[in-house]
Structure 1
Amino acid sequence: MTILIDRDQGIPSPALVPAEGDLARDHGGADLNIGLINNMPDPALKATERQFMKLLQAAAGQRRIRFHCFSLPSVKRSPEAKWHVESEYSELTELGRHKFDGLIVTGAEPVAPELDQEPYWRDLTELVDWAKVNTRSTIWSCLAAHAAVLHLDRIERRRLPAKCHGIFDCDTVTNDLLTRAAPAPFKVSHSRLNEIAESDLDAAGYQVLTRSAKAGVDIFVRQYASRFVFFQGHPEYDALSLQREYLRDVGRYLARERDDYPHLPVSYFDAATEEKLVRFEKQARHQRHPALSNELPALNLRADIAAGSAAAVLFRNWLQYLGAEADAPALAR
């Protein structure tokens, strides 16, 4: 699937492609080819497409983006999600036939005890090696970031005592073009069971750009022929992403698909909603049954979450970095 993302183009569906007549307008600068390797779990598959498309559209300004969707074929899918990928996405073998300016690689839901035992491990590590020399910059998100540093430098992730889940204030700790003009502090969604220790990153030569006092390292980078950018968080998440994950985990608990009841996302629901959800948890522990999900209270978010504003700045800076090199050949002619 290849989509031309234009500033004025609506994105109601990832399958919509603008008419050829729209391609002739002047958009100030060379088009950027951006690939998304979407490995997110089935319930988040389509939402992730939309989130990244809307984020890139908001960040692109006058520049046009040709957006290509892929997924690792070794990621296990339900029949419905598999049909969506096979009908709407390009095959991974097509990746080498395009010249990509930037690549975004998402994580996948873990199914094995160790990352290098995941069924998609070989595909993912081959992608890491390919991206090092075939992109100007690649973003590795959440589990994909953990897998990439394990492959590159044998940095092992560490299991957290409890899931890091919520919206966290992050501070810039290194001046870098990626974080230029970012709010101070800025808010980022995190949702993970593991972390990469900053001391391990420092020892291996990575540069930490942002960190959270509560969530740890947020963004870090390393320069190869391509500039690798690693996110432990999810700056692309929309306002309801964490709510959907929380309700999914509550449903899994009620269906006895998980043993522990999920913690509330940090700094996410308003105080009244948190009180209602604490009462619901007590009820769920005594009346554990899938039908109880129908009694979940109405959910309201905090008014100050504003996670998306920082993401727009980060991705605008990333596209400007990609665009500066993309425009250089044209300026030299």
Structure 2
Amino acid sequence: MTILIDRDQVVSSPALVPGEGDLVRDHAGADLTIGLINNMPDPALKATERQFMKLLQAAAGPHRIRFHCFSLPSVKRSPEAKWHVESEYSDLSDLERGKFDGLIVTGAEPIAPELDQEPYWQDLTNLIDWAKTNTRSTIWSCLAAHAAVLHLDGIERRRLPAKCHGIFDCDVVTRDGLTRAAPAPLKVSHSRLNEIAESDLVQAGYQVLTRSPQAGVDVFVRQYASRFVFFQGHPEYDALSLQREYLRDIGRYLARERETYPRLPVSYFDAATEEKLARFEKKAAHQRHPALANELPGLNLRADIGAGNAAAMLFRNWLRYLGADADASVAAR
């Protein structure tokens, strides 16, 4: 399925986007074809579609975007999520037959102890190899970034002592078109149990663009025939994404599906909410039962989380990079 994204068009989900004939035709830039390989776990599947479509729409400028959703067939899905993918997404075999300017590849929820033991590993590495020469640029997000550098250069991720989870201030450390006009600092959502060490990346020839004193490397790049852009964070997350993950992990703790109570996301909830959640944690340790989730307090976020500003800037610059050759072709006609 091809979804046409125009900057003036309301986008809510693939199923609700109007057909080509319903879109505004007055645009100066060339069309860009973008693929999203959405491997996120089932509860985040549709939210991830919306987040990336809204980002692309906000960043599109004069370009109209032909947007295709895919998912690796080897990613485990519930019947409901599998039906959604089969009915709303393009078949992965269509990717190689198309001409894509850019690709966005998300991670998946880990199942195996090692990345190269995941059931989707072969499909993912085939995609990495294909993208090197068949896109102008590809974004690898979070776990997909870790998998890509492992496949490309044998760089192993390292387990963190505690989950990196929250909004982190990131600094631009290398001038690059991708970070042009970046706010200082960039506030970016991170949610991961592992990290790639900056020293390993630099030694292998990657260029680090942004980093956080707390969260480490944020954005890094490497040039092949395609420009590969790697996010250790989640710039696409909306304001409530980290809250949903935190509440999910509390639910898993109460149901005894995980042994440890989740830590608060960093720089995310306001001070009053953090105090209420600390009291709830103490209660959960003594009354560990799924029904206790009904007593969770109301949650309020900090007023200054501001993660969306960094995402809008990064994607605007990425589309500008993708559109440079396309605009030149349009102007030459």
TM-score (norm 2): 0.98
Q: How does 1:297-312 map to 2 (within 5 A)?
A: 297-312=297-312
Conserved? CA contact 1:35–1:69, under 8 Å:
yes
Measure, in 2, the Cα distance between the counterparts of 1:45 and 1:19: 22
Q: Which residue of 1 aligns with 2:134?
A: 134
Conserved? CA contact 1:187–1:305, under 8 Å:
yes
Q: Alignment partner of 1:122: what SS?
A: helix
Q: How does 1:250-329 map to 2 (within 5 A)?
A: 250-329=250-329
Q: How many pairs were matched up?
A: 333
Q: Which residue of 2 aligns with 1:242?
A: 242
What do the CA deviations read for 1:197-237 (whole angstroms, capped 9, x no partner)? Answer: 00000000000000000000000000000000000000000
Q: Which residue of 2 aligns with 1:196?
A: 196
User: Identity over aligned residues, as a percent?
Assistant: 86
Conserved? CA contact 2:31–2:64, under 8 Å:
yes
Conserved? CA contact 1:164–1:192, under 8 Å:
yes
Conserved? CA contact 1:165–1:189, under 8 Å:
yes
Measure, in 1, the Cα distance between the counterparts of 2:94 and 2:167: 36
Q: Which residue of 2 aligns with 1:175?
A: 175
Counterpart AA for 2:275 = E
In structure 1, stretches of 5+ residues that fail to align are none
What do the CA deviations read for 1:134-160 (whole angstroms, capped 9, x no partner)? Answer: 000000000000000000000000000
Does 2:84 match 1:84?
yes
Q: Alignment partner of 1:193: what SS?
A: strand
Residue 12 of structure 1: how far off its partner (Å)? 2.4
Counterpart AA for 1:243 = Q
Measure, in 1, the Cα distance between the counterparts of 2:234 and 2:260: 24
Conserved? CA contact 2:102–2:322, under 8 Å:
yes
Q: How does 1:117-132 map to 2 (within 5 A)?
A: 117-132=117-132
Residue 24 of structure 1: how far off its partner (Å)? 6.5
Measure, in 1, the Cα distance between the counterparts of 2:16 and 2:302: 34
Measure, in 2, the Cα distance between the counterparts of 1:130 and 1:276: 49
Does 2:150 match 1:143?
no
Counterpart AA for 1:204 = A
Measure, in 1, the Cα distance between the counterparts of 2:115 and 2:49: 24
In structure 2, stretches of 5+ residues that fail to align are none
Measure, in 2, the Cα distance between the counterparts of 1:85 and 1:152: 28
Measure, in 1, the Cα distance between the counterparts of 2:223 and 2:30: 24
What do the CA deviations read for 1:258-283 (whole angstroms, capped 9, x no partner)? Answer: 11110000000000000000000000
Does 2:205 match 1:213?
no
Residue 23 of structure 1: how far off its partner (Å)? 4.8
Conserved? CA contact 1:33–1:65, under 8 Å:
yes
Conserved? CA contact 1:34–1:100, under 8 Å:
yes
Conserved? CA contact 1:36–1:69, under 8 Å:
yes
Q: Alignment partner of 2:100: what SS?
A: coil
Deviates further, 5-14 or 287-296:
5-14
Q: CA RMSD in A?
A: 0.9
What do the CA deviations read for 1:46-100 (whole angstroms, capped 9, x no partner)? Answer: 0000000000000012211011000000000111111111111111101011100
Q: Which residue of 2 aligns with 1:116?
A: 116
Conserved? CA contact 1:101–1:326, under 8 Å:
no
Measure, in 2, the Cα distance between the counterparts of 1:328 and 1:15: 33
Q: How does 1:30-45 map to 2 (within 5 A)?
A: 30-45=30-45
Residue 332 of structure 1: how far off its partner (Å)? 3.4
Measure, in 2, the Cα distance between the counterparts of 1:276 and 1:147: 38
